[in-house]
Structure 1
Amino acid sequence: MHADLALRMLAELFWTGMLVCLPVLGLTMLVGLLISILQVVTQVQEMSLTFIPKLLTAAISLVVFGPWMLRTLASFSTRLWSDIPSMF
């Protein structure tokens, strides 16, 4: 295996990982930010008020984006395994 091939595969691995995590983390972060702004405006400092909406957002986004995430990871894994014979 050559160094450039290993670096390309590693970059593709990180890119795919970031792409798969982005919908869940992005939506959860957005909901957390909105709840934090709401808490600042209303001066309500309740810990469960931030935790429960973020948990529900993460669960719902996993249900919605889960099939796409699995397809993306399966496609990456298939491509990686099919490239193994040509590496050496």
Structure 2
Amino acid sequence: MSENMVIGVIKEAISTGLLISAPILIVSILVGLVVSIFQATTQIQEQTLTFVPKLIAIALVGLLTGSWMLHKLVNFTEGIFAMIANIIQ
């Protein structure tokens, strides 16, 4: 196993992790921004007001993109197992 292969695996792992987490993070940031603007304009400082909309939005994004995320993760894992099989031979 060469250094280039290890660096490639690490690079692919990081990019896959970022790609999988991006939809949830982006939606969470956008919902948080909208709720913060709403709280600033109405001067309602309720702590649960920031938590509940984010939780609902993240759950919806998880339901909508969950199969895509799982497919990406399975493809990455299969690639890793294929590399391990090639190294052993």
Relative to the length of structure 2, the TM-score reads 0.93
Structure 1 segments, 4+ long, off by >4 Å, are none
> Structure 1: 5+ residue runs without aligned partners?
none
- The CA distance in 2 between the partners of 1:74 and 1:4, in whole Å, is 23
Deviations 1:32-67 (A, max 9, x none): 111001111111111011000001011111001100
- Number of aligned positions between the proteins: 88
> Structure 2: 5+ residue runs without aligned partners?
none
**Other-structure match for 1:9:** 9
Aligned partner letter, 1:87: I
- The CA distance in 2 between the partners of 1:68 and 1:46, in whole Å, is 35
- The CA distance in 2 between the partners of 1:78 and 1:4, in whole Å, is 19
Superposed CA RMSD in Å reads 1.0
Measured after TM superposition, the shift of residue 72 of structure 1 is 0.5
Relative to the length of structure 1, the TM-score reads 0.94
- The CA distance in 1 between the partners of 2:39 and 2:14, in whole Å, is 35
- The CA distance in 2 between the partners of 1:87 and 1:38, in whole Å, is 56
Task: Provide the secondary structure at the position in 2 that maps to 1:44.
Answer: coil
Task: Provide the secondary structure at the position in 2 that maps to 1:51.
Answer: helix
- The CA distance in 2 between the partners of 1:5 and 1:85, in whole Å, is 14
Measured after TM superposition, the shift of residue 29 of structure 1 is 1.1
Matches within 5 A, 1:3-82: 3-82=3-82
